[in-house]
Structure 1
Amino acid sequence: MSAAVVAVCASWAPMAQAASTLVIESWRADDLAIWQDKIIPAFEKAHPDIKVTFAPTAPKEYNAALNAKLESGTAGDIVTCRPFDASLEQFTKGRLAPLNDLPGMNNFSAAAKLAWSTDDGKTTFCVPMASVLHGFIYNKEAFDKLGLKEPKTEDELFAALDKIKKDGTYVPMAMGTADQWEAATTGYQNIGPNYWKGEEGRNAVIQGSQKLSEGGWVETLRTLAKWAPYLGDGYKAQSYADSQNIFTLGRAAIYPGGSWEISGFNAQATFKMGAFPPPVRKVGDTCYISDHPDIAVGMNTKTKNPEAAKKFLTWVTTSDFAKIYANALPGFFSLQTAPVAVDDPLAQTFVGWRNGCKSTIRSTYQILSRGAKPNLEDATWGASANVINGTETPEKAAERLQAALANWYKPQQK
């Protein structure tokens, strides 16, 4: 090899080694193939000088593992952010970088950034990726067989449940109470917004002008208690996974849940599915849906590759990323201001509700679950399961939730 060739090779060697590498921390272990096959290749094609590795941790272990890594300085460059307090705590400890000046952050409304912003809304520290919508998924074949239409009101829903139960072919509704969070998340938080009027009621509790023991808050629990006769034999011992299986095996007509189920149900169910939003209480009422912020990404303040990390986060703010993510994971909907088209028919149904209903978020997630013993979110799990099981009246459950909140939250101590 000539001296000239050696010199040229030597000049290129530093460039070959100069590519930045980014590691993404996440709890979405089920999404590994999607990141490896679709998301990362698209980013690296646009940024060939940056190499990305997706390194997920099991969901239940993620918070603790991430905390340990951030404390020890071994965490990845990009951190997948859970909504509200878990990520806010990381920011206040100086572990997540502020992103107000990141290019593309103006593609999100203040509401879209709410779950990853400080309480005063002045600083955002994660880029919103997606939200999930609550609602009811149903077996179209069962509905056709029984001559049922999608219920618009609660009376119509209970009439449909009565007809399904009388026929006896299907469990009317697949939901159990063994995993208490299922009753709260797919029950209470699903139908509740129509009772407490979404953001109006949620913000009223934060401000202290409404109590959890009055009005729509207790009425939600009263309606939830009426679900018990339609959940099938053994629902008290039925886990979340059991509920999923009962529905996808075609044994239940209706599944109260949300858009996060779409990918799994598409893979497992052999029948056609439809979905309807939480039925309003009476004809003419405003429709409210829980359009809950689910996932975002931020930058580890100790990253050794801040410029590369910023390039990745900026790319996440673009429509290119939003289109890839929303269609690779149908049911996880973009939070960007500009609409993002989705291909999956069931996902199209869910996201279409944004046009006719007012969006809100799960009532316990912002601020209200910071108290301990008991935490309001955890207390809501128990209350929701108890009223369905008949071990606690809706009124007593609502009073207990109010007491749990007033025990520590000053606006509720008036």
Structure 2
Amino acid sequence: MTPALPRTGPSRHRRRTVLALAALSGALLVGACSPSSSGSGSGGDDGKVTLTVWSWRVEDEAAYKKIFAAYEKAHPGVTVDFKAFKATEYNKILATGLAGSNGPDVPQVRSYGQLQTTVASKSLLPLDGKVDLTGWDANVVASAKGKEDGKTYSVPLARQTVQMFYNQGLFDKNGLKAPTTWQEFVAANDKLLAAGVTPIAVGAKDDWTLPIVHEVLAAPRFGGKAFQQEVLSGKKSFTDPDWVASVKVVGDLAKYMPKNVTGVAATDAQTLFSAEKAAMIPGGSFDLGVLEKANPNVKIGVFQVPPPPGSPSGSAATTAGWADGNFAVSARSKHPNEATELVKWMTSKDFGQMVTDDIKQISAVPGVNPSDPLLKQMSDNYTNTGSPYLLLTDFRYGSPSGTDVFGKALQELLLGSKDATAVSSELDSGVKTWFKPSA
């Protein structure tokens, strides 16, 4: 019997067609039910793009969403998905996100020394030639650069400043005005203490606050900006007599701080001030919103503490500052061009004005004027007589960091277990394990 020929007629073609259509339908169904491709951002064939932005500023979420809504309106087809995480957990969350495929397109990143591990991991795109920071404050621009290669990896968001806040009502009640000389400053402290008011609220239990307290009370005593150049070049060190004398200033003023100050937390110090039990509090521009919200009835003022006796020739009252909260572009972004365009927009005055008006921060963008009078005063003080918050801007590039060593040593100063010379020597030897002068 002749073997049967293969079936190639119409019925077999129909069966193949049905199977092919079924397979195609299944693939389309799976695609429709699956999440969009993993990775930062998303985009479709319709040209629309979603950019994810991560931040540690949970408290600013509403303000950021308002700001990014303005960007979306000016950039049809782009949606900004803002996500905020708990600040104490953010560094770990960000490192994991940037190393994987589900991280942000535009991460908020740390500055200066704390930026370097992110740069070293090659998680960020260099922005040189893509964003223009010409004319920006050099201290602010330095916060965005890689220490090794000198490339720009982020756009600075805000200038933070530190100064003395004071309760104008308590000052008026005691016949006081913001002091312009050291003698007036000491006399004000004495008068407040005699009236049963804690003159200076300090939360020394949180050691990170103490380098800030030192900057506010004694920056002119060690020489401010001039000392920065000398210590970076190796001409001076932290055992220099002027630096030691500035540390002693903090110890000498301890009698005006809360009793058992090393047991007082930073939040406790803020409560003393907002409850009008303390007349002054050294703090950052980032504290303004917290203090105002805690007691809206307190009329707050700010001033620069005058130079203590013995300050170097030419040293004047100063406002120390640094850059913080920078934004970068992830090297793993699926939409690097759109993400870069968003970060580029963050260099504009429009963005800067919204930062100062809605987030209540001093914008890093030159020429932006805060509408809040206190923010404007702090910004003007930094612009006119500013100096770097030295241990943050230049001594966080290694371990142990300058702020960590100094904060803990200042606690011991306030406890009476170390004097200013010992504290300064400990700082100097700590940073010298990794710091190398430029000269």
> TM-score w.r.t. structure 2 length?
0.84
Q: 1-side partners of 2:46 and 2:428: how far apart? A: 59
Equivalent residue number for residue 313 of structure 1: 343
Aligned-residue offset at 1:121 = 7.7
| Equivalent pair of 1:116/1:124 in contact (CA under 8 Å) | yes
Equivalent residue number for residue 137 of structure 1: 165
Confirm or deny that 1:252 pairs with 2:278: yes
Greater CA deviation, 57-66 or 108-117? 108-117
Percent identity, aligned pairs only?
A: 24
Write out aligned runs for 1:25-44 (5 A).
25-36=54-65, 38-44=66-72
| Equivalent pair of 2:108/2:327 in contact (CA under 8 Å) | yes
- What residue identity is the alignment partner of 1:174? A
Confirm or deny that 1:266 pairs with 2:296: no
Equivalent residue number for residue 14 of structure 2: none
Q: 2-side partners of 1:161 and 1:411: how far apart? A: 39
User: Residues 369 and 103 of structure 1: is their aligned pair in 2 closer, same or farther, counting only changes over 3 Å?
Assistant: closer
Aligned-residue offset at 1:353 = 0.9
Equivalent residue number for residue 94 of structure 2: 66
1:106-140 superposed Cα distances (whole Å, 9 cap, x missing partner): 35344321111133784211011111111011101
| Equivalent pair of 1:88/1:116 in contact (CA under 8 Å) | no
Greater CA deviation, 40-49 or 229-238? 229-238
Q: 2-side partners of 1:393 and 1:405: how far apart? A: 19
Q: 2-side partners of 1:354 and 1:121: how far apart? A: 28
Confirm or deny that 1:362 pairs with 2:392: no
3-state SS in 1 of match to 2:325 = strand
Aligned-residue offset at 1:16 = 8.2
Equivalent residue number for residue 28 of structure 2: none
User: Residues 390 and 266 of structure 1: is their aligned pair in 2 closer, same or farther, counting only changes over 3 Å?
Assistant: same
Residue of structure 1 aligned with 2:241, choices 215, 218, 228 = 215
Q: 2-side partners of 1:117 and 1:246: how far apart? A: 39
Equivalent residue number for residue 355 of structure 2: 325
Equivalent residue number for residue 258 of structure 2: 232
- What residue identity is the alignment partner of 2:289? S
Equivalent residue number for residue 323 of structure 2: 293
Confirm or deny that 1:395 pairs with 2:421: yes
Residue of structure 1 aligned with 2:140, choices 80, 87, 112 = 112
Q: How many residues align?
A: 393
- What residue identity is the alignment partner of 2:279? A
- What residue identity is the alignment partner of 2:187? A
RMSD: 2.2
User: Residues 192 and 300 of structure 1: is their aligned pair in 2 closer, same or farther, counting only changes over 3 Å?
Assistant: farther
Equivalent residue number for residue 281 of structure 1: 308
Q: 2-side partners of 1:239 and 1:75: how far apart? A: 35
- What residue identity is the alignment partner of 2:299? K
Q: 2-side partners of 1:365 and 1:389: how far apart? A: 24
Q: 2-side partners of 1:408 and 1:125: how far apart? A: 23
| Equivalent pair of 2:140/2:322 in contact (CA under 8 Å) | no
Q: 2-side partners of 1:250 and 1:109: how far apart? A: 36
User: Residues 46 and 119 of structure 1: is their aligned pair in 2 closer, same or farther, counting only changes over 3 Å?
Assistant: same
Greater CA deviation, 315-324 or 223-232? 223-232
1:263-319 superposed Cα distances (whole Å, 9 cap, x missing partner): 111212222111101322369742322121112100001100112101211111111
Residue of structure 1 aligned with 2:223, choices 171, 190, 197 = 197
User: Residues 248 and 275 of structure 1: is their aligned pair in 2 closer, same or farther, counting only changes over 3 Å?
Assistant: same
| Equivalent pair of 1:202/1:363 in contact (CA under 8 Å) | yes
Equivalent residue number for residue 84 of structure 1: 112
Confirm or deny that 1:175 pairs with 2:202: yes
3-state SS in 2 of match to 1:226 = helix
Larger Rg: 2
3-state SS in 1 of match to 2:327 = strand
Equivalent residue number for residue 75 of structure 1: 103
Q: 2-side partners of 1:125 and 1:323: how far apart? A: 22
Greater CA deviation, 312-321 or 83-92? 83-92
| Equivalent pair of 1:131/1:295 in contact (CA under 8 Å) | no
Aligned-residue offset at 1:162 = 0.5
> TM-score w.r.t. structure 1 length?
0.89
Equivalent residue number for residue 379 of structure 1: 405
| Equivalent pair of 1:83/1:294 in contact (CA under 8 Å) | yes
1:23-61 superposed Cα distances (whole Å, 9 cap, x missing partner): 11111111111112x211111111121100111121111
Structure 2 residue runs of 5 or longer lacking an equivalent are: 1-42
Residue of structure 2 aligned with 1:18, choices 32, 35, 47 = 47
